[in-house]
Amino acid sequence: MVSSRYILLTLGLPALVRGTQYALIKEYAGTNFFDDWDFFGNIDNLTHGDATFVNASQAASDRLAFVNSAGNAIMKVDNTTVVPLNSKRDTVRITSKDLFGVGSVWIADMLHVPFGCSVWPAFWSSAPAWPTGGEIDTFEGVNMVLNAQMALHTDPGCTLVDPTQTSSRVTSTDCSVANQNLGCVVKNPDPNSYGAAFAAAGGGMFVTELASTGISCVVFRANIPSSLQKNSTIVDTSTFGVPVANYPAGGCNIDKFFQPQNLIFDITLCGDFAGNSEIFPQTCSGSCYNDFVIGPPRNYDNAYFEVRSVRVFGTSSAIEVEAVLNTGRNSTGTVGPSGNQTVRRRGTRMHWSVGH
Ligand SMILES: *[C@@H]1O[C@H](CO)[C@@H](O)[C@H](O)[C@H]1NC(C)=O
Ligand SMILES: *[C@@H]1O[C@H](CO)[C@@H](O)[C@H](O)[C@H]1NC(C)=O
Ligand SMILES: *[C@@H]1O[C@H](CO)[C@@H](O)[C@H](O)[C@H]1NC(C)=O
Ligand SMILES: *[C@@H]1O[C@H](CO)[C@@H](O)[C@H](O)[C@H]1NC(C)=O
Ligand SMILES: *[C@@H]1O[C@H](CO)[C@@H](O)[C@H](O)[C@H]1NC(C)=O
Ligand SMILES: *[C@@H]1O[C@H](CO)[C@@H](O)[C@H](O)[C@H]1NC(C)=O
């Protein structure tokens, strides 16, 4: 499917002289935004949410996933249906068809993120083999919290040590899922990092760098670097300043704990995190399911992502690997190592035990 594109890019790449320079390899934007994602098409069987993640045809017909008149992708929770008792509310979870390995940077330009009591959105990535291949949560929030958070989830042995980052709000440093699957969580200290304030401030551009030297997340808003303001085909992450969250290779061998990642957007409701009996009352009152999921549909008027684009960049070696992974074949036509990576799953996320 994308092999010719990747191979052309590999041949046509300018010489990348620094480890921090990456070339554009994939863009999700405009009317074609949804073309290269899979819709989950089942209930939330991963995090016990009171949500049904609809399939592509239902998402289109019910207008839960569409491109708006401004050319931006909308992914939203159903805010028109009165849901009967013991049923779930419709929403969206999409997974990129392509995988992006160590040596990749993905940049999501978002104008609005979902929020509201019972709402639990995330923009994240996971290897098909979870947790062996690692999970990177670039953006996550619940209910009416004011600060978004970032995290990694891995096999035992990956920890957050000696970061160079702006956030001092590290709530757990062991990334292992064996540690109650808490993840190594860094909260974004910016009061505009979530909720109504995020949209009012003009949204944000989330940069996730998956490099052998470490994993970093930067969020730009007012101060977007000039190289990201235009449709650049090359980005240099060394010009992006100190990240909000940084997981250096010193505490976590990135090449060992991270395999090529699928990108994922999802919005679930209640479940293990937003609906947790300790977490929910921190920012909302009432009952997560009874008062919200089956309550007035207008509870979900703010439960939507509005995304201008997701653009992925790679080093030249990453692009060659991705060409193999994404097509199952390399340029000689040989079946690659991942021709049959179809398993996509995620364990329960249990961030609530720390950091509040
Ligand atoms: C969850 O749903 C997905 C999508 O339908 C399916 O592939 C997977 O097997 C289900 N997992 C469990 C644990 O039921
Ligand atoms: C999508 O989901 C709807 C509702 O569950 C179902 O009726 C329809 O058959 C599904 N379509 C496909 C293509 O799976
Ligand atoms: C950005 O540049 C790429 C590569 O030149 C091109 O394929 C894409 O259509 C451009 N996107 C926009 C939104 O202009
Ligand atoms: C539902 O949410 C959308 C934003 O996603 C909003 O425009 C609309 O007014 C809301 N309410 C109804 C009843 O559609
Ligand atoms: C591509 O296939 C050839 C022929 O089997 C093999 O020698 C080579 O190592 C493969 N390249 C990659 C990147 O897998
Ligand atoms: C993938 O799995 C299918 C079904 O098990 C099998 O028929 C096919 O040969 C496999 N393809 C590769 C590339 O391994």
**Is 62 part of a structural domain of the chain?**
yes
Across the chain, mean pLDDT equals 86
Residue 335 CA, ligand 5 centroid: distance in Å: 8
State the pLDDT confidence band at 208, using cuts at 50, 70 and 90: very high
Element (H, E) at 263: strand 261-269
The answer on pLDDT for 339 being more than 70 is no
Atom 1 of ligand 4, residue of closest alpha carbon: 301
Tokens 């997701």 appear where? 310
Mean pLDDT in residue range 323-329: 58
Flag whether 238 is in a domain. yes
Global confidence as pTM: 0.84
Residue 354 forms part of a structural domain: no
Check which CATH number belongs to the domain holding 44 and give it: 2.60.120.200
In sequence order, which ranges of the chain are alpha helices (DSSP H)? 3-12, 56-61, 195-200, 226-229, 254-257, 271-274, 280-283, 316-327
Residue nearest to atom 2 of ligand 3 (CA): 231
> Residue for token digits 């995090």?
47
Ligand nearest, relative to CA of residue 343: 1
A 10 A CB-CB count for 42 gives: 12
The string of pLDDT tens digits covering residues 73-114 is 999 999 999 999 999 999 999 999 999 999 999 999 999 999
Q: Which domain holds residue 318?
A: 4-340
Asked if residue 355 is part of any domain, the answer here is: no
Residue 348 belongs to some domain of the structure: no
Which residues form ligand 4's pocket by a CB distance below 6 Å? 76, 79-80, 301, 304
Query: What gap in Å lies between CA 283 and CA 143, rounded to an integer?
Result: 7
DSSP helix/strand/coil, 261: strand
CA of 232 to the centre of ligand 3 (A): 8
Catalytic residues: 135, 140
pLDDT of residue 322: 58
Ligand nearest to the CA of 305: 4
Instruction: Look at the chain and report how many structural domains it folds into.
Output: 1
When pLDDT is cut at 50, 70 and 90, the band that residue 224 belongs to is: confident
Q: What is the pLDDT of residues 17-26, one digit of tens each?
A: 456 889 898 9
DSSP secondary structure string for all residues of 149-215: EEEEEBSTT-B--S---S---B---B-BTTTTT--EEEE---TTSSHHHHHHTT-EEEEEEEETTEE
Q: Span 30-35, mean pLDDT? A: 96
Q: What is the C-alpha to C-alpha distance for residues 136 and 154, in angstroms, rounded to an integer?
A: 9
pLDDT of residue 126: 96
For residue 328, is it within any domain? Answer: yes
Cα separation, 22 vs 19, whole angstroms: 8
| Ligand found nearest the CA of 31 | 3
Q: Is 347's pLDDT higher than 80?
A: no
Sign of the CA dihedral running 246, 199, 306, 24: negative
Q: Please check the confidence at residue 10 and state whether its pLDDT lies above 80.
A: no
Question: Is the predicted pLDDT of residue 1 greater than 60, yes or no?
Answer: no
What mean pLDDT comes out for the span 146-154?
Answer: 96
Residue 139 lies in a domain: yes
Residue nearest to atom 9 of ligand 6 (CA): 340
Cα(291)–Cα(128) distance, integer angstroms: 35
Q: How far apart are CA 329 and CA 338, in angstroms?
A: 9
Indicate the DSSP class of residue 344: -
- For residue 234, pLDDT over 80 is answered with yes
* Average confidence (pLDDT) over 129-157: 96
Above pLDDT 90, what percent of the chain?
74
Question: Is residue 347 situated within a structural domain?
Answer: no
> Of 15-19, 129-133, 169-173, which gets the smallest average pLDDT?
15-19
Among protein residues, the one whose CA lies closest to atom 6 of ligand 2: 58
